[in-house]
Amino acid sequence: MIIKNIIFIFFVFICEIAYSQSEFILIKNPDDFKLKLKEATKTTNSVESDFTQNKNLSILAKPIISKGKFCYKKEKKVRWEYTTPYLYLVIINDTKLFIKDKNNKKQYDTQSNKMFKQLNDFLIGCINGEILNNTKDFELNFKENETLYFVTLIPKAQQMKKMLSEIHIYFDKKDLSVSELKMVEQGGDYTNIEFYNKKLNVNISDEKFNFN
């Protein structure tokens, strides 16, 4: 259960996607898009953003909405800080994973656990775009509209397939940063996250990624 819970703690982003599939068309040359993304991530040293998470469960009449702050710093530093409706902190610092809630603190070494390592690589890959080159573990579909690139990833790896049927990543065409991400479970429940008030290449202290 802890693996599944961590996955859906990580991937927290507002409301159901407001763009219908009909508004997107297939990208004629996905390699051109991946090259643009690769060049953009080379010059992106940090990202700071607010986020809103919308988790939709079939057993609940209303979605569970959470909000917080997100930080990323090259190469492998990530901080998720939930502030509403509860306090929760998740930090990745290279191969170390830290989790803190009101009552507990936990630390994991992702190198010692295959699933944690896959989760760590997946999260970082979504942020820096490297996941789009992972055709071994995912089947990829590329679309676009006037303002967004939209990539659908269908897991091939058995462990990931047991939990997720699809991952949707939306990239802003203005700066190729991630705007929204949606994780769809096998049963149809999903977690959707929107990033907003994004700031790229701002100075973020390394202390943000320390665990106390």
Amino acid in position 44: T
More confident residue, 143 or 113: 143
CA atoms within 13 A on the CB side of 198: 19
- Predicted confidence (pLDDT) per residue in 61-91, tens digit: 899 999 999 999 987 899 999 999 999 999 9
Classify burial at 183, counting beta carbons within 10 Å of its beta carbon; exposed 0-12, middle 13-18, buried 19 or more.
buried
pTM score, whole prediction: 0.83
Count up the domains in the chain and report the number: 1
Length of the chain: 212
pLDDT band at 33 (very low <50, low <70, confident <90, very high): very high
CATH number for the domain harbouring residue 73:
2.50.20.10
The 10 Å CB-count burial string (b at 16+, else e) for 94-104 is eebbbbbeeee
DSSP string over 152-175: EEEE-SHHHHHHEEEEEEEEETTT
SS3 state at 121: helix
Q: Is it the case that residue 31 has pLDDT exceeding 80?
A: yes
Sheet containing strand 64-73, strands side by side: 25-26, 138-144, 148-155, 164-172, 178-185, 190-200, 46-56, 64-73, 77-84, 88-93, 96-100, 105-109
Model pLDDT, residue 45: 92
Which residue is associated with the tokens 């068309």?
Answer: 25
Q: Is it the case that residue 21 has pLDDT exceeding 50?
A: no
Q: Is it the case that residue 208 has pLDDT exceeding 60?
A: yes
74 is in which domain, residue-wise?
A: 2-209
193 vs 181: CA distance, rounded Å? 5
Contact 27, 45 (CB under 8 A): no
